[in-house]
Amino acid sequence: MKKLTGFTLIELIITMAIVGVLLVVGVPSMKTFMQGSQLIASSNELLAALNIARSEAIKSNASVTFCASSNGTSCSNTGKWQIGWIVFNDANRDRLGTGAPCAALNTDCLLRVHENFNDPLLSIEGIFAGDSTAITAVTFASSGRPLDTNNVQQAGEFSVCTYDTSNTITDARAVSFGFTGRSRVRSPTNIASVACPSAP
């Protein structure tokens, strides 16, 4: 007769206990890692969009606007940038947006579209330096400087923040642009130095 081999009940219980411990330890760590990756990616994408808008304004010798957009064609005034954004030639500087892709210079036309971030625990908001009003759009002049509709130079900072399920801030980065139009990402040692909203 062949001898039957297999696992004993005690061996199965020990194996299941080890798997359970690994899951309890590993799943939160994996979630934290994924959130950290999303934070880095989203802040870098925001920085890239600002740089594209500035370089296109200089290259085309025209105004280019970067604004939050939920539909990929028109600007949103919510101040919530996680819904997505667009970069477009803004010849008349009305900051409204356009659905038409670029075919000719000196017309309002779409240059770039960024889809929304499908993460309810991510928040991207910004404020202008000086008056602390919410950033809904940034328009770069042909000089590469960010100007408001009255041709006054602007500077500001976006807060890119992640939260846990109880709406506690877990990590944050800041994407800022200066009066000259140059942008940078700041990864602070103290997340309280980034102006995150209380909840996404």
Exposed/middle/buried for residue 182 (C-beta within 10 Å: 0-12, 13-18, 19+): middle
Q: What is the pTM of this model?
A: 0.79
Tokens 């008349």 appear where? 92
Q: Strand order of the sheet with strand 64-68? A: 109-114, 85-89, 64-68, 137-140
Residue 15: partners with Cβ closer than 8 Å, 6 or more residues away: 7
Cα distances (angstroms) measured from residue 1 to each of 4, 5, 6, 7, 8? 9, 13, 16, 19, 20
CATH for 13-193, among 3.55.40.10, 2.40.70.10, 3.40.50.970, 1.10.8.50?
A: 3.55.40.10
Domain residue extents for the chain: 13-193
Per residue in 7-56, pLDDT (tens digit) is 777 888 888 888 877 777 666 666 666 777 888 899 999 999 999 999 99
Per residue in 106-150, pLDDT (tens digit) is 678 888 999 998 888 899 999 999 888 999 999 999 999 999 888
CA dist., res. 191 & res. 43, Å (int): 14
